[in-house]
Structure 1
């Protein structure tokens, strides 16, 4: 019998074609949503490989139900959805898709910064709704980006790529990171200093025990009233209740987020009632070429892992 690969969400045929000859492929056929947990549990006991999405929680219970599992390959650079301790205990390797999405996510980060600063989504809605009647001196005025100060929290590959884009806008770049970096064009700052000085604060930090909720009421209170908070890292790093109050009460000027504590973002989330809040559906890496490269990395890792060869991009 061929080893079985279970895929938790429908992928294009070209992404999995190279695996079909050697492996049995079972795949949840919904492209828009990942398989429900109970559906994954029906198959996990037979699976040699699990090809999963960031939205699927691969926890200890799942590893315990998977005696044949050799590898979990995550279609994301992040892996906070996977219990790595349980993976190690059960001898299961975990892989992700780093580097390939760096430039695409940096593009989205800067695009969201610009859209938030210049109220692009709000302005676009006035055209579609017929509210646009004439040019007005202060109509839909936003915050200038050129020459502003950008504070980046979480200076990894994506942060460095954003820095390169900021150069073209003559921005002063501050950064806060767990470890200091030797970077040209960016200056290290303690978190409080970064928050106080930045016109734009860009969150790119991974979600860990240390970063969970790191931007809360106190931190938002340190920011300028004209500042914008942008989050393209992980949703849990920002206290959304505190952010709502800061936006509602004028503590900060605006926010743009591509990631949230709960995804999809519930329609009753109060942030969605605010005109100074721009929300995107977690599309940081959603360049067509980039997503296909990510899938190819997953497929290669699964194939090499099941063949007992050295595997690239191992998390554990």
Structure 2
């Protein structure tokens, strides 16, 4: 007798090829209009599904998991970060959680490097000036920015993405510095020509550009607090393509507005999709709508990992990308 296909509920619209493959392999319920699910929708999903496939926009908290039916055994997250899932509650209910690590490293590092280049060179300001038809032509002192060659880059979080950023920045002639929970192996540190700082405070005070690449956890919430942002020199730039909650957005906005920091490049925000309206009025900030992993190739790779995790689990094996609560 053929094995029953697991009921898989997908919370957002995924690439067509991924959805087609999921429908071939599983009993799949799709979200074709891509409207974010309400809390009531998510509760109904966990009550009925064998497998839930959420994204970063879905908060799978303890209250929702408390309503889960007996058949829910796997949450196969479409994405790397899992700060929107209550891992402890999932573990208590014997629900396995998987994610999609590794496939977004290069895309996110590319976006980070783009911001590192764009903010000091005032690229967004220049583009807005042209569109406003107010440009009067070249002059020796017009819209002067700063070169990044020779500048100190401080990387907060030296995992896959942090290392990929280091390789790019090194090629642009930047001096690489980093703070991490654990120091890199000496060979890797030498390859990246990276200087380790055990003290984040001391590193921040000496950097020209600071970029954030750590997960959002209770320990990293407002890691860049008002106090730590105040350690940065006035000519420094802050780049964040990780999670908005890691930076005290109100403090950052105040400092940028007062000229206490030179600028910022932000792809993520503390209260997404809401953006601090004062940020929107600042010229020294480049703001992007969470595009760090937004490539066709990246989304396809994410979908393939989700499928592999579900299929492996349904076949009675441990999926390759299990997330352990103790990891965060």
The TM-score range, normalised by the shorter chain, is: over 0.9
What is the aligned partner in structure 1 of residue 121 from structure 2? 118
Decide whether the 8 Å contact of 1:122 with 1:275 is kept in 2.
yes
Q: Give the Cα–Cα distance (whole angstroms) in 1 for the partners of residues 127 and 22 of structure 2.
A: 44
**Alpha carbons of 1:46 and 1:146: their partners in 2 closer, same or farther (altered >3 Å)?**
same
Following superposition of structure 1 onto structure 2, how do residues 90-105 of structure 1 map, counting pairs within 5 Å?
90-105=93-108
What is the aligned partner in structure 2 of residue 57 from structure 1? 59
What is the aligned partner in structure 1 of residue 9 from structure 2? 6
Give 1:74's match in structure 2, choosing from 77, 82, 97: 77
Unmatched segments (≥5 aa) in structure 1: none
Deviations, residues 133-185 of structure 1 (Å, cap 9, x unaligned): 11122222112111111000011111111111112112111101111112121
Decide whether the 8 Å contact of 2:39 with 2:64 is kept in 1.
no
Decide whether the 8 Å contact of 1:73 with 1:302 is kept in 2.
yes
Q: Give the Cα–Cα distance (whole angstroms) in 2 for the partners of residues 221 and 61 of structure 1.
A: 38
Q: Give the Cα–Cα distance (whole angstroms) in 2 for the partners of residues 173 and 21 of structure 1.
A: 47
Decide whether the 8 Å contact of 1:70 with 1:305 is kept in 2.
no
Following superposition of structure 1 onto structure 2, how do residues 187-198 of structure 1 map, counting pairs within 5 Å?
187-189=195-197, 190-198=199-207
Q: Give the Cα–Cα distance (whole angstroms) in 1 for the partners of residues 36 and 310 of structure 2.
A: 19
What is the aligned partner in structure 1 of residue 147 from structure 2? 144
The structure 1 segments of at least 4 consecutive aligned residues displaced by more than 3 Å after TM superposition are none
Q: Give the Cα–Cα distance (whole angstroms) in 1 for the partners of residues 161 and 296 of structure 2.
A: 18
The CA deviation at 1:30 is: 2.5
Matching of residue 237 in structure 1 with residue 240 in structure 2? no
Deviations, residues 228-254 of structure 1 (Å, cap 9, x unaligned): 000111111100110011101111100
Q: Give the Cα–Cα distance (whole angstroms) in 2 for the partners of residues 109 and 4 of structure 1.
A: 38
Decide whether the 8 Å contact of 1:71 with 1:306 is kept in 2.
no
The CA deviation at 1:65 is: 1.6
The CA deviation at 1:121 is: 1.1
Please give the secondary structure, in 1, of the residue aligned with 2:265.
strand
The CA deviation at 1:2 is: 4.1
Q: Give the Cα–Cα distance (whole angstroms) in 1 for the partners of residues 146 and 258 of structure 2.
A: 18
Decide whether the 8 Å contact of 1:225 with 1:253 is kept in 2.
yes
Unmatched segments (≥5 aa) in structure 2: none
Decide whether the 8 Å contact of 2:15 with 2:299 is kept in 1.
no
Matching of residue 219 in structure 1 with residue 228 in structure 2? yes
What is the aligned partner in structure 1 of residue 287 from structure 2? 279
Decide whether the 8 Å contact of 1:200 with 1:228 is kept in 2.
yes
**Alpha carbons of 1:162 and 1:22: their partners in 2 closer, same or farther (altered >3 Å)?**
closer
Decide whether the 8 Å contact of 1:48 with 1:306 is kept in 2.
no
Q: Give the Cα–Cα distance (whole angstroms) in 2 for the partners of residues 158 and 37 of structure 1.
A: 32
Matching of residue 162 in structure 1 with residue 165 in structure 2? yes
**Alpha carbons of 1:287 and 1:13: their partners in 2 closer, same or farther (altered >3 Å)?**
closer
Q: Give the Cα–Cα distance (whole angstroms) in 1 for the partners of residues 226 and 62 of structure 2.
A: 33
Query: What is the TM-score when the length of structure 2 is the normalising length?
Result: 0.92
Q: Give the Cα–Cα distance (whole angstroms) in 2 for the partners of residues 28 and 18 of structure 1.
A: 15
What is the aligned partner in structure 1 of residue 213 from structure 2? 204
Matching of residue 85 in structure 1 with residue 78 in structure 2? no
What is the aligned partner in structure 2 of residue 288 from structure 1? 296
Decide whether the 8 Å contact of 1:50 with 1:72 is kept in 2.
yes
Q: How many residues align?
A: 314
Give 1:127's match in structure 2, choosing from 122, 127, 130: 130
The CA deviation at 1:22 is: 4.2
Q: Give the Cα–Cα distance (whole angstroms) in 1 for the partners of residues 107 and 56 of structure 2.
A: 17
